[in-house]
Amino acid sequence: MALDGKVAVVTGGAQGLGRGFAEVLLKKGAKVSLFDVGEETGNATKGAFEKEFGPDQILFCVCDVTSEKQLKDAFQRTVQKFSGIDIVCNNAGISNERDWEKTVAINLCGVIRGTYLALDHMKKENGGRGGVIINISSMAGLGPLPASPVYTATKHGVVGFSRAMAMASDAAGYGVRINTMCPIYVRTALLSTAGSEECAGEFYRIKHVNRKLMEFGVLEVSDVVKAFDNLVLDESQNGAAVIVKMGGFDYVKFPTAEDLLGSNAP
Ligand SMILES: NC(=O)c1ccc[n+]([C@@H]2O[C@H](COP(=O)([O-])OP(=O)(O)OC[C@H]3O[C@@H](n4cnc5c(N)ncnc54)[C@H](O)[C@@H]3O)[C@@H](O)[C@H]2O)c1
Ligand SMILES: CCCCC/C=C\C=C\[C@H](O)C/C=C\C/C=C\CCCC(=O)O
């Protein structure tokens, strides 16, 4: 998929990974709509991007992904400004075990809602152009992060939902690919707050078990952006989950029905 002239949405795009994803899309000629709850950071990022890429390439919508109305309005504003949508990255996420229902609402319900609304605009049966949706999970979507059980559950949920939706999209002829990214730790604001007493809650006393997993390494945003760029462009991938780790990225090999059921497989 060539990116020049394409229209992209990035949730949680004001900072961190989302900002990095937005920047690479803009560099390759796409128009980008940032959805973020952080008004000040979002406006600052919009201003910086406008300076570099010009005023017509970027839109910032103050939007909380837990609100159906705000998310719907943000998609609508994007379509009105840019005409259609080709790429959606559901990236907004938090790590807060104390307020675990908020973690589920943003990390899992926000991704589901963002995917459904994206499909309303992108699927061919609605007159959309097709395209690609990339949902941001984590390595904690593939294995346990012990001091963050609810975060782990939401990220497993993102992988399962995205794989099922990829098959549904294919079977229904939507023309939209749906893939997931699963990075190990990345140096962002989320990482510096997740281990705090305020976010870890009762698991604060065992935060060392999460910290130990830093032995896998800590990525820079640019490492994850490279894998994102590859996944957006690779039209052969639908239902893929990409692990991003030190030294590069790989496609996850999931067990097949035959692996799981042996001779009972259909
Ligand atoms: N940093 C890591 O180690 C790491 C590793 C793997 C996956 N991830 C995932 O990557 C994604 C981005 O995380 P990050 O590290 O860049 O974090 P970050 O905190 O730097 O950025 C997250 C952005 O999401 C926004 N956001 C939070 N709640 C929102 C809401 N309700 N509605 C809209 N926007 C909202 C924030 O304002 C912020 O701009 C998350 O889904 C996270 O789980 C992070
Ligand atoms: C297979 C094992 C899973 C390993 C998980 C690896 C990476 C996870 C990345 C997450 O998305 C990061 C999110 C939250 C981090 C939570 C706690 C970190 C505490 C760090 C600290 O104490 O400073």
Q: Quick: pLDDT tens for 61-83.
A: 999 999 999 999 999 999 999 99
pLDDT digits (tens, 9 = 90+) for 85-104: 999 999 999 999 999 999 99
Angle between helices 149-172 and 110-122 (to 10 degrees): 20
Cα–Cα distance for residue pair 266/32, rounded to 1 Å: 44
Evaluate: CB of 14 within 6 angstroms of ligand 2: no
| Confidence check: pLDDT of 1 > 80 | no
The per-residue pLDDT for 84 is: 96
Cα–Cα distance for residue pair 198/201, rounded to 1 Å: 6
Evaluate: CB of 185 within 6 angstroms of ligand 2: yes
Cα–Cα distance for residue pair 118/87, rounded to 1 Å: 9
pLDDT digits (tens, 9 = 90+) for 119-166: 999 999 999 999 999 999 999 999 999 999 999 999 999 999 999 999
Tell the residue nearest (CA) to atom 21 of ligand 2: 195
Check if the beta carbon of residue 162 is closer than 8 Å to that of residue 197: no
Provide the pLDDT confidence category of residue 229 given band limits of 50, 70 and 90.
Answer: very high
151 in active site: yes
Q: CB under 8 Å to 58, separation ≥6 — which residues?
A: 26, 31, 32, 33, 34, 46, 49, 50
CB atoms within 10 A of CB 53: 19
| Confidence check: pLDDT of 189 > 90 | yes
End-to-end CA, the chain: 36
Write down the H helix ranges in 173-212.
189-194, 197-200, 207-212
Short-list 99, 145, 90, CA closest to 118: 90
**Across 7-27, average pLDDT:** 98
Distance 140 CA to ligand 2 centre (A): 7
CB atoms within 10 A of CB 219: 21
Cα–Cα distance for residue pair 142/96, rounded to 1 Å: 19
CB atoms within 10 A of CB 260: 10
Ligand nearest to the CA of 139: 2
Cα-Cα-Cα-Cα torsion 59, 130, 18, 80, nearest 10 degrees, comes to 10
Evaluate: CB of 143 within 6 angstroms of ligand 2: yes
The per-residue pLDDT for 263 is: 84
**Torsion sign, CA atoms 251, 229, 33, 85:** negative
Cα–Cα distance for residue pair 74/69, rounded to 1 Å: 9
3 state DSSP class of 60:
strand
3-state SS of 18-50? Answer: HHHHHHHHHHCCCEEEEEECCHHHHHHHHHHHH
Cα–Cα distance for residue pair 132/8, rounded to 1 Å: 10
- Residue ranges around ligand 1 (CB below 6 Å): 11-12, 14-18, 36-38, 41, 63-66, 91-94, 106, 136, 138, 183, 185-186, 188-191
Distance 234 CA to ligand 2 centre (A): 28
Q: Which residues pair with 10 in a beta bridge?
A: 34, 89
Q: State the chain's mean pLDDT as an integer.
A: 97
